[in-house]
Amino acid sequence: MKLSTISGLCSVAAVSAASGQVVSLSFDAPTIDRWVYPFASSAGYEFEAKTFSSLGQETAFFPITFDQRDGQIMVGFDFPANLPPGRGACGYRVISAVLTLKVSNHNVYKYDPTYDGWQTYLNGAGDADGRPIELYGAAFRNGWMACRIDPSMPALNQFPCYWEGSPERAAPPFGPGSFPTRDTRYAYATDYAGRVERDVSNNVRDQFDSKPFAVGQIGGLAPGALVPVDRDTVFTLNVNDADVQAYLRRACDAGLVRLLVTSLQQASAGGPGPGGGSFASFYTKEIGIDGFGPRFSISVRLTSAGDADGSGGVDFADITSVLTNWGLVGPDGDANCDGVVNFSDITEVLTNWGSL
181 or 24, greater pLDDT: 24
Q: Is the pLDDT of residue 97 over 60?
A: yes
pLDDT (tens digit per residue) in 168-222: 455 666 554 445 678 888 889 999 999 999 999 999 999 999 999 999 999 999 9
Do 33 and 172 belong together in one domain?
Answer: yes
pLDDT level of residue 144 (50, 70, 90 thresholds): confident
Which of 120, 115, 125, 146 lies closest to 259, judged by CA? 146
Q: How many domains does the chain have?
A: 2
Same domain as 237, residue 345: no
Percent of the chain with pLDDT strictly greater than 70: 81
106: left (phi over 0), alpha (psi -120 to 50) or beta: beta
Q: Write down the mean pLDDT value for the chain.
A: 83
> Quick one: pLDDT at residue 118?
94
pLDDT of residue 125: 63
Question: Between residues 321 and 100, which one has the greater pLDDT?
Answer: 100
Among 97-101, 204-208, 315-319, the range scoring the smallest mean pLDDT is: 315-319
176 plus 273 within the same structural domain: yes
Model pLDDT, residue 271: 47
The β-bridge relationship of strands 133-140 and 256-263 is antiparallel
Q: Place 127 in a pLDDT band, splitting at 50, 70 and 90.
A: confident
* Whether residue 105 is found in the same domain as residue 172: yes
Residues 204 and 329 in one domain: no
Is 310 inside any structural domain? no
Residues 244 and 337 in one domain: no
241 and 179 in a single domain? The answer is yes
More confident call, 319 vs 26: 26
Residue 2 confidence (pLDDT) above 60: no
**Do 149 and 36 share a structural domain?**
yes
User: Quick one: which of 47, 51, 53, 52 has its CA closest to 74?
Assistant: 51
Query: Over 60: is that where the pLDDT of 263 sits?
Result: yes
> Distances in Å between the alpha carbon of 132 and those of 96, 160, 230, 331?
22, 32, 18, 27
Range of 262's domain? 10-302
Q: Is 167 among the domain residues?
A: yes
In this structure, the answer to whether residues 96 and 230 fall within a common structural domain is: yes
Domain assignment of residue 308, yes or no:
no
Amino acid 230: pLDDT: 97
Are 41 and 188 members of one domain? yes
Same domain? For 30 and 86 the reply is yes
Task: Work out the burial of residue 238: count CB atoms within 10 Å of its CB; fewer than 13 is exposed, 13-18 middle, 19 or more buried.
Answer: middle
- Work out the burial of residue 309: count CB atoms within 10 Å of its CB; fewer than 13 is exposed, 13-18 middle, 19 or more buried: buried
Reported as a single tens digit per residue, the pLDDT across 279-303 is: 999 999 999 999 999 999 999 999 8
pLDDT of residue 348: 73
pLDDT value for 15: 41
pLDDT for the residue numbered 19: 74
**Where residue 89 falls among pLDDT bands split at 50, 70, 90?**
confident
Give residue-wise pLDDT tens across range 28-68: 999 999 988 877 766 678 899 999 998 877 665 556 678 89
